Structure 1
Amino acid sequence: MKRFTLLASSAIVAGGIGLFSFKTDDRFFEIARNLDIYATLFKELNLYYVDEINPNRMVKTSIDAMLKALDPYTNFFAEDEIEDYRTMTTGRYNGIGALIGNRQDRNIVLMIYEGTPAEKSGLRIGDEILKIDGVDLKNRKDRGDGSGDTGKLLKGQNGTAVKLTVRRFGQKDPIELSVTRDVVKMTNVPYYGMISDEVGYIDLKDFTATAAREVRTAYQELKGKGMKKLILDVRENPGGLLNMAIDISNIFIPKDSEVVTTKGKVTEWNKTYTALNPPLDLDMPIVVLTNNHSASAAEIVSGVIQDYDRGVLVGQRTFGKGLVQTTRELSFNTKLKITTAKYYIPSGRCIQAIDYSHRNPDGSVGKVPDSLKTAFKTKAGRVVYDGGGVLPDVVTEAPTPTPIALSLTNKGLIFDYAVKYRHEHPTIKPAREFRLTDAEYQEFVKWASDKEYDYTTQVEKDLGTLEASAKKEKYFDQIQDQLKALKTKVSHSKDADMLTFKNEIKALLEQEIAGHYYLQRGLKEASFATDPDLKAALDLFKDMTRYQAILKK
């Protein structure tokens, strides 16, 4: 505590010198004054608070609360979080390559990554991890992202072995597995392949340091297999490194073309980035799939393809994150990831949708209103707008899961049945061909009949609102018979809904089961048959006259 006070006092003394030199700088005075308040407050807490306080946790909490008032992307990383930060930016960590999640107080293997120690050891999706190197995991929580207790216990130096005690479905006694840790590389392109004889597909899910290389490799392999048209999928891609967005854009646009311009408070940092390398292809027809979770670097690539009329965007409007973060080194091996600029794509537009700098009185933030959006033009003269993400050229409706499908998924019943199915069926057909028979679907319905899950449909919610309004406004007595009849009519039956929404539930089951056999590749390939955005892209490629017409003014 003395050390903290001394450091804080030193900072304030230095602040005093600056204050003396710049007496008119009221802002600097306010900073120095509030630092002094903070230091004295912390000192009093440490001396007099009834319980012992943890200085690291207290300061981290206060910093996080302060940064939360700015935007969601300005973050502080304490010393013990630096490894997580490196994983986030590089996609690499030392561990076993399994995603662990806590479900009903059980640590369950939710996914195993291809080619990792976890896969080689024989660990399976659905296994419950009871102990790690003899440490009992009972009552330990894991956030599901590898950063909780379980994730930390699984990580370690390369070449070291970790012993897992696992309970597997269908086996009475726990089993022991020894897994040798290694460098685990989370791939940016978890899947690529040929969708048809001439259409290739690349699933780009992240923008860590190897993203551009992975996309180039995937493109070249698919080209060697006869690819003549490309679908680039950036749905659910949260973004990442700016230089990777530039390099990936460069694959499809000419050398020296402008990719993105950054503008912020520090004018010396403002810069226009251009394509530095010869492109791989300037002519191949491209469709980029987007949705409202495509953000940041994913939006740069999408926006560049659209602004140069290089391809057609299909899907839903993107997230709208036009902000650039820079990492700054702080004392004691801590880091600050800080929003330093906005980015502007070649048409001149910034796609930032939310204005964090002007918060409402209640602390909430609003989106840029349509009246303040400005029109820009693509290279061919097509009109595009700023301030609201990137709007696709072909807009599709975002899939909305039915209440029963959502409930079955959230309660883990789809996952649990896939674990059961994997145990009972040693092999299945390739993921693209795998289909559940009607008899197998009925087995699932029977299995789920005594499981705990329920849901309220939107119609039932609306009727509840109507009834409450009727009571409040004294109309209930007049319409209660009609309301009762309506309730009876629309009251959901699980058995009936299992039949009505069979196709949707069956598709979810098939994807989950395929994932248990073929991991991420299985999940992706099993989704092809029911993916509406993919179907829209393939339909567009079948009508190249329409494709070309979209790209014209």
Structure 2
Amino acid sequence: MKVEPNDAQVSRPVSQPAPAARNTRAQVRQPLLLAVVLACGILLGANPFRPSDQNPDGTARGYLKFKEILSYVDRDYVDSVDAEALSDYAISRMLERLDPHSVFIPARQQQQASAFLQSDFDGVGVEFNLFRDTVTIVSPLSGGPAEQAGLQPGDRILAVNGEQVSGVHITNEEMFGKLRGPRSSKVQLLVQRRRQAKPITVLVTRNRIPNSSVDVAYMLDNQTGYIKVSRFASGTYDEFKQALGDLRRQGLSRLVLDLRGNPGGYLDRATKLADEFISGTKKIVYTDGKGDVYDTQTYSRTLGEFEEGPLVVLVDEGSASAAEVVAGALQDHDRALVVGRRTFGKGLVQQPIALNDGSELRLTIARYYTPSGRSIQKSYRGGYEEYEKELAQRQKHGEYFHADSIHFADSLRYRTDKGRTVYGGGGIMPDLFVARDTSAYSAYYTRLQSHNLVREFALNFYQDHKGELEGLRFEQFNSTFRISDAQLQALSAQAAHDGIAADAAGLRRCSPLLRSQLKALIARSAYGKTAYYQVLRDQDAELQQALRALQGNGEASTLLGLAK
């Protein structure tokens, strides 16, 4: 599901999205990886252009050599060349020799690279997806220009300002560019609506659109709150404070903080969030670089909103960088029970350096450490390609399914404040391991998802039954609605029509997963984002483990007692 992108402002110190490991190095080939992979941390310094005092002659010789070769290629090579593109490529390859997170972002992609962390943006305010090479509105953002103009879920955008966008293989990035624009400017959309013979024209006036990083916050029961933070953007701390305050007024006395899939973001927002849980003056994170120029120490200082009370933090292999800082600090101080799977393992700090042509260098200038002294950066000695494959290797070795397949060297052993053993050198290992449940997955399910057929079917179902759904309260829907066998067969028939061969065994295997996914997506269209998470909670293994711990069941309860 896509939302219009935005522009980010960099603050100090930060941990930018990305991961650079997988994104900007391959910028020329895959420019949008910035918003989907894992994070690289960033720390701003005062003067990035200090002359080197270690090898100034070598630096000068290397610079002159590169300049000379590029000049020869530009002047004498048999074919015409793009010298700037060659330079960008050479820089990216050079940085690969350093570490996986030092990256170069070309000028044309710098704005997009920063967009992930902005708290708002100018646009029309729609979530959209590409179904059958047509941009389809999944949901207009509440209160946004698109909703005010009358756009509805399921509307298909055929043209933008007279330019056709349907059936022309438009990319998400290209569509983002067409929908974005300065506040108060207008954009004309040609829209095909179900059950209307002719397309309609909708004029939308762009405005500032909030880009929330707190995906959802609601009460799981009359005591337990749940807050999911998707990244640490410029507005995350303020959003979190508001969400936590709202839940406290509803009776919250214990909390589940969900950082699964959180790729990082601004580190100062992450440390401020951690400070809400940590009492007194305690170290949250520190950084160590060459010399002492980039050495920093961050401590808890403010009176937090939830410094006492049971706290569980959910993490997985997609939790990285600033998210790992939060989880590591809370674990080291025995303030929270960490539940899930080992985190990504990103502990390098980058400094963004703006270059004259508008491009940007993000150079690793320090490592960060948790309060106990752990560096959670995983090894990158095997080079960039091996680093890229590390998560796949975890799966191959069975780590996602068996905690005893994970081994740490004794030299990486550390102690929490209360003496519990924790490890560094490759992410944050949770206190309670929860295996990834793949029992319902099948190749058939993957094909359905890759063609967007599950989302499309749910959206069409919502449109066909909108009147009935509007007559139900969510609680009624959640307790009584069920995806039938006939509806699953209808989805399979639609898939066959789209070229996905029928697979009865594959459908049977993934039917429990399909039923819950379809129900959740229908609930989202009918009742909003919170309803989506409420439908899925019973099938969420990590969340259920967290609830068992909070409710005082077994080993989880004992560990949580240490974390209070």
Q: TM-score, normalised by structure 2?
A: 0.79
2:249 corresponds in structure 1 to: 224
Q: 1:333 aligns with which of 353, 358, 367?
A: 358
Contact 2:331–2:416, Cα closer than 8 Å, also in 1: yes
Contact 2:225–2:247, Cα closer than 8 Å, also in 1: yes
SS of aligned partner of 2:319: coil
Supply the distance in 2 between the matched residues of 1:170 and 1:64 (Cα, whole angstroms): 51
1:449: Cα distance to partner? 2.4
Using a 3 Å threshold, how does the CA distance of structure 1 residues 266 and 442 change in structure 2: closer, same or farther? farther
2:160 corresponds in structure 1 to: 132
2:412 corresponds in structure 1 to: 374
Percent sequence identity is 26
1:536 corresponds in structure 2 to: 545
Q: Is the counterpart of residue 268 in structure 1 residue 308 in structure 2?
A: no
Q: Mind listing any 5+ residue stretches in structure 1 that lack a counterpart?
A: 1-17, 457-492
Supply the distance in 2 between the matched residues of 1:100 and 1:50 (Cα, whole angstroms): 46
Alignment of 1:67-466 (within 5 A): 67-110=95-138, 112-137=140-165, 143-144=171-172, 148-353=173-378, 355-356=379-380, 358-359=381-382, 370-371=408-409, 373-400=411-438, 401-427=441-467, 428=469, 429-430=472-473, 434=477, 440-449=484-493, 451-452=495-496
Equivalent residue letter for 2:382: R
Equivalent residue letter for 2:550: F
Equivalent residue letter for 1:381: G
Equivalent residue letter for 1:359: G
Alignment of 1:18-97 (within 5 A): 27-49=55-77, 52-97=80-125
Supply the distance in 2 between the matched residues of 1:163 and 1:507 (Cα, whole angstroms): 37
RCO higher in structure (CA 8 A, sep ≥6): 2
1:232: Cα distance to partner? 0.6
Supply the distance in 1 between the matched residues of 2:175 and 2:385 (Cα, whole angstroms): 38
SS of aligned partner of 1:89: coil
SS of aligned partner of 2:437: coil
1:99: Cα distance to partner? 4.0
For residues 324-343 of structure 1, the C-alpha deviation after alignment (integer angstroms, 9 at most, x for no partner) is 22222222333222222111
Using a 3 Å threshold, how does the CA distance of structure 1 residues 247 and 121 change in structure 2: closer, same or farther? same
Contact 1:432–1:526, Cα closer than 8 Å, also in 2: no
Contact 1:100–1:150, Cα closer than 8 Å, also in 2: no
Supply the distance in 1 between the matched residues of 2:69 and 2:167 (Cα, whole angstroms): 36
SS of aligned partner of 2:495: coil
Supply the distance in 2 between the matched residues of 1:113 and 1:251 (Cα, whole angstroms): 29
1:529: Cα distance to partner? 2.6
Contact 1:441–1:506, Cα closer than 8 Å, also in 2: no
Contact 1:255–1:279, Cα closer than 8 Å, also in 2: no
Q: 1:511 aligns with which of 515, 520, 537?
A: 520
- The aligned length equals 490
2:42 corresponds in structure 1 to: none
Supply the distance in 2 between the matched residues of 1:316 and 1:63 (Cα, whole angstroms): 35
Contact 2:466–2:526, Cα closer than 8 Å, also in 1: no
SS of aligned partner of 2:537: helix
Equivalent residue letter for 1:220: G
SS of aligned partner of 2:227: strand
1:437: Cα distance to partner? 5.2
Runs of 4+ aligned structure 1 residues displaced above 6 Å come to: 365-369, 453-456
Q: 2:511 aligns with which of 480, 483, 502?
A: 502
Using a 3 Å threshold, how does the CA distance of structure 1 residues 425 and 363 change in structure 2: closer, same or farther? closer
1:125: Cα distance to partner? 4.2
Supply the distance in 2 between the matched residues of 1:411 and 1:176 (Cα, whole angstroms): 28
Q: TM-score, normalised by structure 1?
A: 0.80
Equivalent residue letter for 1:403: A
SS of aligned partner of 1:449: helix
Using a 3 Å threshold, how does the CA distance of structure 1 residues 113 and 295 change in structure 2: closer, same or farther? farther
Contact 1:141–1:149, Cα closer than 8 Å, also in 2: no
Contact 2:432–2:556, Cα closer than 8 Å, also in 1: no
Contact 1:112–1:519, Cα closer than 8 Å, also in 2: no
State which drifts further: 185-194 or 493-502.
493-502
For residues 168-209 of structure 1, the C-alpha deviation after alignment (integer angstroms, 9 at most, x for no partner) is 344443222222111222111121011111111111111012
Using a 3 Å threshold, how does the CA distance of structure 1 residues 168 and 66 change in structure 2: closer, same or farther? farther
Aligned-residue RMSD, C-alpha? 3.0
Using a 3 Å threshold, how does the CA distance of structure 1 residues 308 and 361 change in structure 2: closer, same or farther? closer
Supply the distance in 1 between the matched residues of 2:431 and 2:553 (Cα, whole angstroms): 15
1:52: Cα distance to partner? 4.6
Contact 2:266–2:322, Cα closer than 8 Å, also in 1: yes
1:547: Cα distance to partner? 4.8
Supply the distance in 1 between the matched residues of 2:107 and 2:483 (Cα, whole angstroms): 55
Supply the distance in 1 between the matched residues of 2:509 and 2:522 (Cα, whole angstroms): 22
Supply the distance in 2 between the matched residues of 1:141 and 1:325 (Cα, whole angstroms): 36
SS of aligned partner of 1:331: coil
Using a 3 Å threshold, how does the CA distance of structure 1 residues 62 and 171 change in structure 2: closer, same or farther? farther
For residues 57-79 of structure 1, the C-alpha deviation after alignment (integer angstroms, 9 at most, x for no partner) is 44333333333444443333333
Supply the distance in 2 between the matched residues of 1:439 and 1:261 (Cα, whole angstroms): 50
